[in-house]
Structure 1
Amino acid sequence: MEAQVGRKEEEEEEEEEMEVEPKTGVSFPAKLPDGKQLCATGLRRKKLLALGINIYAFGMYVDIDARFKELLKAKLGGAAEKPSKELYEAVIDGDVGVVVRLVIVFRALTMSMVRKNFGEGLSVSLKKLTGGQKNEELINKVMGEAKDGIKLPPGSVIEIARLPGHVLQAKVKDELVSKVESELLCRAYLHMYLGDDPFDKEAKERFGRTLVSSLSAP
């Protein structure tokens, strides 16, 4: 009986384990209910009238299982000592589950503002991946069912997930707003965080270091 109680307490402590994004103080669970692990936290900033505005904090989660490790090792030719371009490309291009949890920190943010910001970032990313082509129709499918009038006070959560089969799924405050099957869209989305000009370079580096460490773990 005591052993069962002890295990339950350990499980509760594990569930409550959090990591704080230092620039905003936003907390992220170290692990999602489906087992995906937090690999890095970061901050999305945007210039507005020459001022740097904090828009949202984010946490990037990956299912670091045996299949994922084998995918990375195959791409890298074995284990790695430090993050490399090939490592990030393996995640961007691979058909593996990744979740980016966004927690709003900017006050008076609306869904229309998020849609515009999201579209701008995706447009730039798509152009880099396609040699200058822009696909407005594809971009507009993301957040497709989210109403522009939705208010997103600080603490509101938007979750973007790449699901197996190259499906990009978006949830706003736990409500499913879009689910789009597109390998290019999935790559473009992760490219915003792990590409050559990421939203948060420090977050990208932490993400890479976490994956490198995982390759040497049993």
Structure 2
Amino acid sequence: MQVLGGVGVRCRQLMKIKSINLYAFGMYVHPESLRAQLGTKYAGVSPSDLKFRSEFYDDLLRHEVSLTVRMVVLYKGLTVDLVRSAFQVSLRNRLRKVISSEDDEGLQIFCSYLSGDLKIHKGTVIDIHWQPGGRLQAVVDGRRVGTIFSENLCRAFFDLYIGDPPVSSSAKHSIGESFARILNN
């Protein structure tokens, strides 16, 4: 069973005048998986210190820790085309950071799951699960839409939330502090 590590909101600035809340998100972790992968290295480190260590987040992205990001759409004008386009751009940039290339077959497959027949509306819940073996599973409103086998895409996707720069710095540090508390329990 996974537990909530932290929450945040993804905003988009419009012409420096107004900020729109696109979606809320939460990151979940499987405590036993976290402890098995990183417990020896970080046990005993205070949560208030660990949340600022970039090495900790790098280790989270390098090891097969069972993670989930749950997104809840807040903006009623969000369409599947906008979501696909935003993820395509963001994930290409993160892939460039993770593997020095923006080409990854997993990205094309992931974007194909965000097709025109998929409906996005205010309140839509999107779960992205990082599972062992480099599997990235997408679930929309409880319906599994597909699984991609790409360790690089897994790292790139979760780098959006706990990498540099994150979509929300306060959420990243909240997640890091919570994960550190789990390691110390």
- Taking structure 1 as the reference length, the TM-score comes to 0.76
Distance 1:210 1:127 in 2: 29
RMSD: 1.7
User: How far apart are residue 136 of structure 1 and its match?
Assistant: 5.8
User: How far apart are residue 149 of structure 1 and its match?
Assistant: 4.6
User: How far apart are residue 73 of structure 1 and its match?
Assistant: 3.0
Question: Residue deviations 1:75-134, cap 9 Å, x none?
Answer: 44x431222112111211111211100000011211111111111111111111123x21
**Where in structure 2 are there 5+ consecutive unaligned residues?**
none
For CA contacts below 8 A with separation 6 or more, give which structure has more relative contact order: 2
Q: Does 1:46 align with 2:16?
A: no
Which residue in the other structure is 1:102 paired with?
71
- On the 8 A contact 2:113/2:146 being kept in 1, the answer is yes
Within a 5 Å distance, the mapping from 1:1-218 to structure 2 comes to: 35-50=1-16, 51-65=18-32, 67-76=33-42, 78-81=43-46, 82-83=49-50, 84-131=53-100, 133-135=101-103, 137-217=105-185
Which residue in the other structure is 1:8 paired with?
none
**Where in structure 1 are there 5+ consecutive unaligned residues?**
1-34
- On the 8 A contact 2:88/2:111 being kept in 1, the answer is no
**Greater radius of gyration (CA):** 1
Distance 2:120 2:62 in 1: 31
Question: Residue deviations 1:141-175, cap 9 Å, x none?
Answer: 11423432533221110110101111001112222
Determine what percentage of the aligned residue pairs are the same residue: 31
Distance 2:79 2:9 in 1: 18
Distance 2:118 2:15 in 1: 25
